[in-house]
Amino acid sequence: MDHFMTLYSDAAKTSVGFFWKAAWAFVVGYSISAMIQAFVPKQRLTKRMGEAGLKSVSLATLFGTISSSCSFAALATARSLVLKGAHFITAVAFMFASTNLVIELGIMILVFLGWQFLAAEIIGGLLLIAISSILIQMTYPKRWIDAAREKVQQESESEEEDFDWRKRIRSLDGWAMVGHRFVMEWKMVWQEIVVGFTIAGVIATFVPDWFWKTLFLADQAKAHPSNFLIALENAVVAPFVAACTFIGSMGNIPLATVLNSGGVLFAGIMGFIYSDLMVPPLVKVNAKYYGWRVALYVAVVMFVSIVLTALILHYAFYFTGMMPESARQVEEVTQFKVDYTLFLNVAAIVIVGAMNWLSRRHARGMSGGHHDHGDKKWSLQDIVTSAAIVWVVGGLLLFASYQLGG
């Protein structure tokens, strides 16, 4: 029992350590994302996504890159693109881009995993979109997609009117909109972040290294990093591990750090990072939007694309000598000390305060009524998030008691 309680306190401390390391990255990333969303007219992009050609896919990729990194928001926006007449290939390209190529995710990967993984994420994200587009083009189930489009045609969504970005960026109202977007982004992802970082801390502490070494054939991979069957096994297993965690795009980077320190092959790490859209809740959301046939079809396309992308990246980095030589240890990432992280987090707190002030100003400027209807029902995500918070707080109190007790 004493051993469990010690592990419990260490898990809570590790979860908070993960968040401490990433807090400034979240704030900077979402601030930039909010500015792009507020100041870049997106209506012109959505009008040009009706074809399956290179231009439409490129625009969808660009649109995804400047959009939210929240997995659920990515699916909702992709659905609205389909509703507005976008080709299904461009909708899938948008989903991949908005969860794999956004600025805040890149900063997180750089902080937790290093520049090689960031380079791989960008290159692989583009490759992932290209491969998925080709696969859908080759296997396009026209009857299924037409039925899915009819399913979403019943709903409508108001379009954002075009605007002069130069005028908006010079106005306080424009920056108030940035604050509003920033707060809305956090409201969409904070539960995912809390649960993701909590799970990462639990897995980093409770799951022994031998489990990952066995699951991903780490010893064999270390001896034979170019072995195709080992690389294939890592790339195939990684999406299933991601699916079992139920963590979305921003929450799975700390867990990728755990896998990295556990000796998982490069192909496995990248396969895990790209699998954020394959977690069961997101597949279920797609089923709600398009029906189960299309949702499972998209999941299969994603799985095949992820495996192929992970393998291509693995061998491209291996043969160019850019493969990460050593794993960044979890202890190194989660330590608390006076360094650049401290000062960046202090600056992040100032930014958060400014964004909240701007958001409140935006809310006061809105003329139309409001929000809360008072009887919000708790969802499964609310319950899981609350449980994660209780777990972390309890673990921190236990850790503090150990420290005070000598």
Task: Give the pLDDT confidence of 38-49 residue by residue, as tens digits.
Answer: 887 666 666 677
Average pLDDT, the chain: 83
Q: Coil, strand or helix: which one is 31?
A: helix
CB-based contact 95:65 (threshold 8 Å): no
Q: What is the mean pLDDT of residues 162-170?
A: 82
Per-residue pLDDT, 331: 62
Per-residue pLDDT, 359: 93
Q: How far apart are CA 174 and CA 224, in angstroms?
A: 55
pLDDT tens-digit map of 340-384: 788 988 999 999 999 999 999 998 877 554 555 555 678 878 898
pLDDT tens-digit map of 339-350: 778 898 899 999
In this prediction the pTM is 0.74
To the nearest 10°, the Cα dihedral for 333, 334, 339, 344? 90
Can you say whether the dihedral through the CA atoms of 357, 385, 206, 303 is positive or negative? negative
Per-residue pLDDT, 175: 93
- What is the per-residue burial (b if ≥16 Cβ within 10 Å, else e) of 177-190? bbbbbbbbbbebbe
Phi/psi for 395 (5° steps) reads -65, -40
**263 pLDDT more than 60:** yes
Per-residue pLDDT, 200: 78
To the nearest 10°, the Cα dihedral for 289, 294, 298, 299? 90
Q: How far is CA 131 from the centre of its chain?
A: 20
Q: How far apart are CA 177 and CA 165, in angstroms?
A: 12
Q: Domain ranges for the chain, please list them.
A: 18-151+163-364
CB-based contact 21:95 (threshold 8 Å): no
Residue ranges of alpha helices (H) inside 250-291 are: 252-261, 266-273, 280-290
Q: How far apart are CA 405 and CA 227, in angstroms?
A: 51
Q: What is the C-alpha end-to-end distance of the chain, expressed in Å?
A: 19
Per-residue pLDDT, 156: 47
Highest mean pLDDT among 64-68, 94-98, 128-132, 254-258: 128-132
Q: What is the CA radius of gyration of the chain?
A: 22
Phi/psi for 398 (5° steps) reads -65, -45
Per-residue pLDDT, 369: 46
Percent of the chain at pLDDT > 70 equals: 87
CB-based contact 96:133 (threshold 8 Å): no
DSSP state of 47: T
Q: What is the DSSP string of 178-214?
A: HHHHHHHHHHHHHHHHHHHHHHHHHHHHHS-HHHHHH
Q: Coil, strand or helix: which one is 164?
A: coil
**74 pLDDT more than 80:** no
Q: What is the mean pLDDT of residues 146-157?
A: 71
